[in-house]
Amino acid sequence: MESNLPVISVENGIPRHPDFRLEEPLNLSIYPGEQVAIVGLNASGKTRLIEILTGRYPLLGTNEVHYHFEGSTHRYASDDIRVLTFRDSYGDSDTTYYLQQRWNQHDIDESTPMVDGRYIISLSSGELRKYQLQRALASSPRLLILDSPFIGLDPEARQQLRDTLAQLIKEQGLQVILLLTRDSDIPDFINRVIRRPTPDPSRQGGASSGLSSNICAQPLTSFTGREGSNICAQPLPSLTGSEGSNGLTECQAVLSDREITPIPRTGKGGNGSSILRFSHITIRYGERTILNDLSWNVCRGEHWALEGANGSGKSTLLSLVCADNPQAYACDIELFGRQRGTGESIWDIKRHIGYVSPEMHRAYMRDLPAIDIVASGLHDSVGLYVRPRPEQRETCLAWMRRFHIDHLADRTFLRMSSGEQRLCLLARAFVKSPDLLILDEPFHGLDDPNRLLATQIIEDYCRQPDVTLIIVSHYAEELPRCITHHLRLPSPPK
């Protein structure tokens, strides 16, 4: 018989820290047997709500968060709760990104963690996310809280996760709280939906101070179907007129005197000439072959979708293009008309590339103002080491306006929601008007309005002659309409 006491409850909760005060006191109870989805747009306060419920932001006075796990033998409630956030899914330290991108087996010692006989730093981002989920489940929590659990997973892995959670709920009485941005990701086992209010971008406090405790909980059965839900009730951003092509023109006009050396031309030059060429590439980590005898030619102006299951080698392939993989020097690779290893530096290559990836997002822990994060893309740095000139700052602001985040220009990176951070990193990828865009899962964590906005910006940008695109997405419906070519990597051996 289930207890009638709530598993988690808070009444009239007010965070102590003034930066995280709510518009009104928080009142919420979650009862045994409730499988909860907290759904809302980017910056609506989903993550902040969980941080309050799990004690990261203590409350004033005696109005604490109360926990009751019937029959628990643990001394502390924290032993019954596991929280897996976006950043948790990619490792425990900033070195994870560096090691994964510049992995060299001679740098690995006996202390390096292994998974199924493989070094953890050799896992793809999707594989690493699955590993972190497995770790969380292995601790047998009573309550599992997952922030954006399905991002980075291929369709098979997403279904496996749904099935695993459903089985644990049925057989072990696990309770889950999922933080989601789209209704389409709500699993069938969810029986309570908590909707976050639409964020007000005019509020300078953002997701922190703008978090409202006016929580609307409704049973899933009251929905009129996924398409009928009100998660996207607000109007989508206008992408025509001044917000569309003219917005891109503004960014380009500011960039007209950019100091980037033109790409050397090969063949006949112009659209159709080779921008990268891989000839019979093989990449191995120890005994494991990631890429086997791969040949690939990308011509200027082509728009490629790079596809494949988690672990198929997509990130490894992109690391070769971005000059982040030391094994590139042992391979027959030509980038921008030059053979790799003929004297060019990685910065000679990177200055022509706009890049964003889940690993970059995970590694970006510099708490700089958003406009400085965007400006760092001008010099391909993780921090801002060269102060932008006034005209370069205007370039940054122009791209931030294009992504509807110019109101965040002075807010520091770690005080933004993960969705706002992703838009900031996307603006960073575009800021130098690159000849080659490499977008590895660019829509991670974006709600539907922001995903549509980003897609339209990509499509507008790729209408220019000679712009080349390589994009990775595990959601086929997310691929922009401008795609002209597909490369699918074979699935890794089981």
Query: Which of 228, 252, 285 delimits the end of a domain?
Result: 228
Query: Which of 204, 228, 252 delimits the end of a domain?
Result: 228
DSSP conformation letters of 161-203: HHHHHHHHHHHH--EEEEEES-GGG--TT--EEEEPPPP-TT-
Paired strand residues for 354: 437
- Residues 6-51: tens digit of each pLDDT: 999 999 888 888 777 666 788 899 999 999 999 999 988 888 889 8
For residues 152 and 246, membership in a common domain is answered with: no
Which whole number is the average pLDDT over 346-368? Answer: 83
For residues 203 and 310, membership in a common domain is answered with: no
Is residue 273 one of the residues assigned to a domain? no
- Residues 315-352: tens digit of each pLDDT: 889 988 887 777 777 788 888 888 776 666 777 788 88
Tokens of 70: 């019937």
Distance separating alpha carbons of residues 358 and 336, to the nearest angstrom: 25
For residues 196 and 254, membership in a common domain is answered with: no
Q: Beta-carbon neighbour count of residue 106 at 10 Å?
A: 6
Query: Which of 228, 255, 288 delimits the end of a domain?
Result: 228
For residues 350 and 426, membership in a common domain is answered with: yes
Lowest-confidence segment of 132-141, 223-232, 250-259 by average pLDDT: 223-232
Q: How many domains does the chain have?
A: 2
Distance separating alpha carbons of residues 395 and 311, to the nearest angstrom: 37
**What is the extent of the structural domain holding 427?**
241-265+301-329+338-488
pLDDT for position 254: 46
Q: Is 225 helix (H, G, I), strand (E, B) or coil?
A: coil
φ and ψ of 106, to 5 deg: -75, -15
- Residues 380-408: tens digit of each pLDDT: 776 555 677 888 899 999 999 999 999 99
pLDDT for position 87: 61
Which whole number is the average pLDDT over 210-233? Answer: 36
In angstroms, the Cα distances linking 367 to 56, 410, 446 are: 19, 11, 21
Is residue 233 one of the residues assigned to a domain? no
For residues 319 and 203, membership in a common domain is answered with: no
Paired strand residues for 353: 436
pLDDT for position 347: 75
For residues 247 and 156, membership in a common domain is answered with: no
What secondary structure letter does DSSP report for 15?
A: B
Residue 64: pLDDT above 50?
A: yes
For residues 77 and 137, membership in a common domain is answered with: yes
For residues 167 and 69, membership in a common domain is answered with: yes
Read off the pTM. 0.80
Is residue 296 one of the residues assigned to a domain? no
List the CATH number of the domain containing 402: 3.40.50.300
Residue pair 43/417 in contact by the 8 Å Cβ criterion: yes
Tokens of 460: 């507008």
For residues 192 and 259, membership in a common domain is answered with: no
Give every CB contact of residue 262 below 8 A, 6+ residues apart in sequence: none
Paired strand residues for 10: 28
Give the burial class of 210: count Cβ atoms within 10 A of its Cβ; 0-12 exposed, 13-18 middle, 19 or more buried.
buried
Residue 268: pLDDT above 50?
A: no
